[in-house]
Structure 1
Amino acid sequence: KAENRHLFFMNAVQSKHSPEVSPSAVRRRMSDDHSDISDDIAHLLEEVGVNSDEESVLSRYHSMIPLRPQQLFALSAYWLGWAMLWMPLLVIIIPKQIVEIAGSESKGSNMSSLLMLGSIVSLFCLPLFGSLSDRCQHSLGRRRPFMILGGVIGSFALIVMGCNPPMPVYTSMFLVLSISNNMIIAPYSALVPDLVPASQRGIASSWLGGMSMLGYLLGGFVTFFITSLGTFTTLALLNVCHALSMWYTVWKIVEFPYKPSPYIEVKKGGYFSGLLSVIKPLYKHDFLLLFLTRFLTQIGISTVEEFLSFFIGDAVGRPYTFLGNEVATTPAEAVSIMFIPMLFGALLSSSLSGYISDRLGGRRKIIVYWSGAVMAISCLMLTITRSYSGSLFVGGLFGLGYGAFTAVDWALVTDLLEDNAEFAKDMAVWGIALVLPNLVMPLVGRLLDWLQQMAPSYNIGYSIVFLIAAAEFAGGSYFVKYIYKIK
């Protein structure tokens, strides 16, 4: 009996911050024949600080306790604010400000160069903040302190950017905004594997995908009035919405301080030791292919996002009419309206795809195949579409594919995570595939500018760029075929 007591206690202490271990849990799980042992162990657990009223950050991941709808809403609420800010910022606001600050002659190159600098920052900051988050012992937990600090810094950068400062200042503030965004995203991404059990990965991914689509739609609605509101007021509204959504998630999620067990050997090297093993997940066959899948798919998405505003302004004929009625007078308004069919389609498909994936026993590949094919076909249609009504139809079709991919995007990576002590770092490596495409965007921007200068009346530059995007979507869908651990 003493030996059993000792072994159970040692296992409980070593897994203190992983499985759901508490005095009440021990009493429930031990049989009636060993009630005296359970009382002793429960007392010992109380002495080492495992309170019966606390639930460790990682307990749900291991215990398979499903999250309630209100908990899924709280977890995904920040993604609503993030999408509401970043989609309009990249697609409408930054292109508009670049033209106002630096002129329209080299708008494609300036846009791509700005995003390239932000991506270079992200390559270093994502794994850095992920590693720091995994080892953080703050009283608020491992994830929330970084989210709060990043939110404050990002709000300041957005205020300065809204004033249309000179290009060097604007670029500097965008880099500060990128750093703050990485400070938030790396820890926030780890909350998903921290809190979501395996049986709910698909539905949680759908929540995140649906929230992002709703955020895009609301952000597009706000920026539709950018002409009357002005850039500063528009950015201020988006800034407030972003901050409120973060506050709600930080307030509602349950996270407790992380205290490494003295019985577990701590890796040497301090906080920065994790940076040396950043590429470790890429050594694994399945993770590498998933990285390539997301990388290629995101290149295609970035191509559409970054040049859509320029495409509408340069290639699509005016007036911007639908069913014989003029619905927009400026390219910014036209792109905002184009968000409506695109994001309604995305919201529909993202809401259903994750649920369908879970109902099919966690089958994700078929969703990726379908979404890649739909987005590739949409880009092929954009190579020949020159009417605004046709662009609206293509936007809705693209949204169906985009929403389906975002619905399983998070589920794909959480299916492959193994080391719960380094969730944030591994999710940060996965997140690099989201920002890495911006490093090649300057090449695409220069290609677009060069082709447009050669034959501006034919808009051949946009046709070539969207043709490349279609090939990228096809390549991303191809790689997922060979990921063995994903069905």
Structure 2
Amino acid sequence: MTSETAHPPQPWVLSAFWFGTAFHWLVLLLILMPANVEMFVGEARKGTYLGALVAIGAVMALILPPLVGAHSDRTGRRLPYMRLGVAVNLVGLAVMGFAAMTLTGMNGFWVYVLGFLLVQFGNNYATAPYSALIPQLVPPKERGRYSGVMALLQAAGQLLGAVAAFAVGILKLPVIVSFVLIAVVLLIPALVTMRGIPEAKNPKPLATAGGKTLSIRELFAYQAFLWVFLTRVLFSLGQYSVQPFLQYYNRDVLRQADAPTSTSIMLACIIVGSIVSALIGGRISDRVGRKPVIYVAGGAMAAAALLLLVAPNYPVALALALFFGLGFGAFTSVDWALGSDAMPSASSYARDMGIWHVAFVAPQMSSAPQGALLDWGNARGGNFGYTLVFGIAALFFIAGVLLVRKVPDNAHQGQQAAA
């Protein structure tokens, strides 16, 4: 595999695995885990324990990708890591499903945590080298299109997840059905991607493709990477200030009797908006630059987060969710292209993308203090906790918009020079 190929794989093949992971994380994080955690620990402590569980998983996702990515760069291989990671991910899902079906109380919760850690380990082990494929295989002038297809497939996977969760809820199917669906929808797209990216049996290490492998300090001294990293941290902090608690918001603020089903519908609205803007945003960014798209997208996400605080009823909240999705899809379509442009060296794509991925994963740890803040605020009455976490989310989105101005407009040219 070389640093860029004349004929990179079709964008749909290259990004198929993102479809499966998007389905996986939407159903697991936003539908199953909130309900399962409440079943294990009870109503009064649900926010604290859910936030802590998300943060525990984030620690795994924080440490593993740079290490696995660096090893993948040294060996010149991508696919063996993906195969092993997907296998461990599936084992973790089985453990979580077993705990949710057969165990109760805190004993069940800790078995559930073990399964979740296996899921995090396997998924991050697979996606660390996988994340290198767009900057490695796709020329800069095409990255907006490829990033847009990736965003579209992610949104489609999330939409399928929301529809599947809605169907499972309406039909009152056992919780194990959802875990089986996650496993199947994760595995099939993974096989599509792995079969569509042939890898030689004895390849030369990727470092021989040219380019200096930078130290971590040198990497962050590279201005394009530094500002893209910090911008993604802020947008991710905004996302994870709210995302894990949407189901609780539907029940406590919007007074929805069937909160899981209502959340599935709300997520579907977000995702439909994302699909509309995903491909458009990526293609526009190839013409006018990445930053103008992010300005508009971040502004829309901040406005939606604030307006959800005063939504008078569920239909208005759904309209705001659609509006948020338009911003989120545009941001996602450009995010990967912007990150790919900021990679300074062709010899360490997987390690550097793994480090960049930390900017998305580390903010998940904020779910623990945000969950505690949610419970603390709500204990004071008037759903004050939701005002705090949604308001904080809006501030993070606004800060991300302001900071992205510092990203150099010619980041990919610096990358080519380094390579």
Fold agreement, TM-score > 0.5:
yes
State the match for 1:77 in structure 2.
16
Give runs of aligned pairs for residues 135-150 of structure 1, distance below 5 A. Answer: 135-137=74-76, 142-150=77-85
For 1:208 and 1:465, the matched residues in 2 are separated by: 29
Are 2:219 and 1:281 equivalent residues in the alignment? Answer: yes
Give runs of aligned pairs for residues 146-185 of structure 1, distance below 5 A. Answer: 146-163=81-98, 164=100, 165=103, 166-185=108-127
Cα offsets for 1:17-42 (capped at 9, x unmatched): xxxxxxxxxxxxxxxxxxxxxxxxxx
For 1:111 and 1:148, the matched residues in 2 are separated by: 29
Deviation, structure 1 residue 235: 1.2
Higher alpha-carbon deviation: 157-166 or 367-376? 157-166
Are 2:238 and 1:300 equivalent residues in the alignment? Answer: yes
Deviation, structure 1 residue 188: 0.6
For 1:242 and 1:433, the matched residues in 2 are separated by: 23
Call closer, same or farther: CA 1:253–1:260 in 2, change over 3 Å: closer
SS across alignment from 1:162: helix
Q: Which runs of 5+ in 1 are unaligned?
A: 1-55, 268-273, 319-328
Partners of 1:412 and 1:486 within 8 A in 2: no
State the match for 1:342 in structure 2.
270
Partner letter of residue 204 of structure 2? K
SS across alignment from 2:228: helix
Give runs of aligned pairs for residues 384-399 of structure 1, distance below 5 A. Answer: 384-399=310-325
For 1:84 and 1:179, the matched residues in 2 are separated by: 18
State the match for 1:371 in structure 2.
297
Cα offsets for 1:379-417 (capped at 9, x unmatched): 010111141111101100000000000000110011111
For 2:281 and 2:348, the matched residues in 1 are separated by: 28
Partners of 2:219 and 2:344 within 8 A in 1: no
Partners of 1:382 and 1:463 within 8 A in 2: no
State the match for 1:245 in structure 2.
189
SS across alignment from 1:258: coil
Deviation, structure 1 residue 260: 4.2
SS across alignment from 1:417: coil
Call closer, same or farther: CA 1:226–1:82 in 2, change over 3 Å: same
Call closer, same or farther: CA 1:95–1:219 in 2, change over 3 Å: same
Partners of 1:127 and 1:278 within 8 A in 2: no
Partners of 1:77 and 1:245 within 8 A in 2: yes
State the match for 2:417 in structure 1.
none
Deviation, structure 1 residue 198: 1.3
Partner letter of residue 430 of structure 1? W
Deviation, structure 1 residue 418: 2.3
Partners of 2:240 and 2:363 within 8 A in 1: yes
2:283 to 346, 355, 369: 355
1:428 to 354, 370, 379: 354
For 1:149 and 1:192, the matched residues in 2 are separated by: 21
State the match for 1:258 in structure 2.
203
Partner letter of residue 353 of structure 1? G
Deviation, structure 1 residue 59: 4.0
**In the comparison of the two structures, how many residue pairs are matched?**
401
Are 2:382 and 1:461 equivalent residues in the alignment? Answer: no
2:140 to 179, 198, 218: 198
The two structures have a TM-score, normalised by structure 2, of 0.91
Partners of 2:144 and 2:286 within 8 A in 1: yes
State the match for 2:332 in structure 1.
406
1:450 to 367, 370, 376: 376
2:32 to 62, 81, 93: 93
Call closer, same or farther: CA 1:333–1:202 in 2, change over 3 Å: same
SS across alignment from 1:254: coil
Structure of greater relative contact order (alpha carbons < 8 Å, 6+ residues apart): 2
For 2:74 and 2:309, the matched residues in 1 are separated by: 48
Moved over 6 A (4+): 261-267
For 2:261 and 2:238, the matched residues in 1 are separated by: 23
Call closer, same or farther: CA 1:411–1:263 in 2, change over 3 Å: closer
Deviation, structure 1 residue 463: 1.4
State the match for 1:215 in structure 2.
157
For 1:420 and 1:265, the matched residues in 2 are separated by: 7
The two structures have a TM-score, normalised by structure 1, of 0.79
Call closer, same or farther: CA 1:261–1:388 in 2, change over 3 Å: closer
Are 2:167 and 1:229 equivalent residues in the alignment? Answer: no
Partner letter of residue 19 of structure 2? L
SS across alignment from 1:229: coil
Give runs of aligned pairs for residues 3-152 of structure 1, distance below 5 A. Answer: 56-60=1-5, 65=6, 67=8, 71-137=10-76, 142-152=77-87
Partner letter of residue 295 of structure 2? Y
State the match for 2:367 in structure 1.
441
For 1:125 and 1:119, the matched residues in 2 are separated by: 10
Partner letter of residue 157 of structure 1? G
Partner letter of residue 251 of structure 1? R
State the match for 1:19 in structure 2.
none
Partners of 2:240 and 2:366 within 8 A in 1: no
For 1:260 and 1:156, the matched residues in 2 are separated by: 30
Partner letter of residue 401 of structure 2? S
Are 2:394 and 1:470 equivalent residues in the alignment? Answer: yes
Deviation, structure 1 residue 255: 2.9
Cα offsets for 1:200-221 (capped at 9, x unmatched): 0100000110000000000111
Deviation, structure 1 residue 312: 0.3
Q: Which runs of 5+ in 2 are unaligned?
A: 412-419
Deviation, structure 1 residue 58: 2.6
Deviation, structure 1 residue 57: 3.6
For 2:273 and 2:405, the matched residues in 1 are separated by: 25
Higher alpha-carbon deviation: 159-168 or 198-207? 159-168
Partners of 2:2 and 2:206 within 8 A in 1: no
Call closer, same or farther: CA 1:462–1:358 in 2, change over 3 Å: same
Deviation, structure 1 residue 486: 4.6
